[in-house]
Amino acid sequence: MPVEKITSIHNPRIQTIRALLNRREERRERGWFVAEGVRLVEEGVQAGWQAVMAVYSADLSPRGQALLPALAARGAEVFEVPSSLLKQVSDTETPQGILTVFVRRPCATPDPLDFVVIADNLRDPGNLGTLLRSAAAAGAQMVWLTPGTVDAFSPKVLRAGMGAHFRLPVQEVSLEWLKDFRSAHPAMQFYLAEAETGIPCWEADLTQPLALVIGGEAEGASPAMRDLVDECLTIPMPGKSESLNAAVAAGILLFEVVRQRRSAP
């Protein structure tokens, strides 16, 4: 497969990739994001996501090299760059030899919707990425992000998500939109994860349609979100820890939903 080479960091395509990696506004305006590394790009290709372009270095592994024809076949521009240039552009200290620009897919709300996760005011990229990964594994249908939550398509969240973005619809929503949704779907229960107060998670009925709200690490959920929830859920902790990491708590609650629904008659 004949491939054009790029050698300058000032090349317009390289500048586009840098802007997408560094600026949320650029990602939002274009509707594009950058997946870095063989595993993430492989997930995107296997899930059939549209790619705009890819850049790779000569030291790309055979597994990564096998992705290049598939990317080109989907209409992506593919360029070879020196490893030194890729390192300048990369968001990681040890690049894996490939960066690919994908087009975000529009999110369609499943019908019926009975298992959604809401990240509210969640600012840590690692926590959000891990939450997305757990939500995808637990079979959540969507994840909604409220204002104040870190961009789900930032490089650090993408890496922590380990490909979940390609398997799980992720949508930014306003609190006003959520309020309207709440009014239009009264049968859906909104549960907020709390450290100390609320119903113990295995005593709540999580077989019904529900939205699981995970608040921010430091301050928890916003006051506006608290006004929307029906109940608070807590994870009983026999030990003396004050609280759990947000992503860890989310994982426990997500799989309690799975457990209850599999056990339900």
pLDDT (0 to 100) of residue 156: 96
Query: What are the pLDDT digits (tens) for 79-123?
Result: 999 999 999 999 888 888 999 999 999 988 888 999 999 999 999
Looking at residue 183, its amino acid is S
- Place 60 in a pLDDT band, splitting at 50, 70 and 90: very high
Q: Is the pLDDT of residue 196 over 90?
A: no
Better-predicted residue by pLDDT, 264 or 48: 48
Q: Is the pLDDT of residue 65 over 90?
A: yes
pTM: 0.93
Q: Which domains does the chain have, with CATH numbers?
A: 4-103 (3.30.1330.30), 115-263 (3.40.1280.10)
Q: Which of 258, 255, 239 is nearest to 247 (CA)?
A: 255
pLDDT (0 to 100) of residue 244: 80
Better-predicted residue by pLDDT, 2 or 44: 44
Q: Which of 227, 230, 251, 236 is nearest to 203 (CA)?
A: 236
- Place 241 in a pLDDT band, splitting at 50, 70 and 90: low
pLDDT (0 to 100) of residue 2: 64
Better-predicted residue by pLDDT, 66 or 264: 66
pLDDT (0 to 100) of residue 10: 96
- Place 264 in a pLDDT band, splitting at 50, 70 and 90: confident
pLDDT (0 to 100) of residue 3: 79
Q: Which of 116, 100, 112, 85 is nearest to 189 (CA)?
A: 116
Rounded percentage of the chain residues whose pLDDT exceeds 70:
98
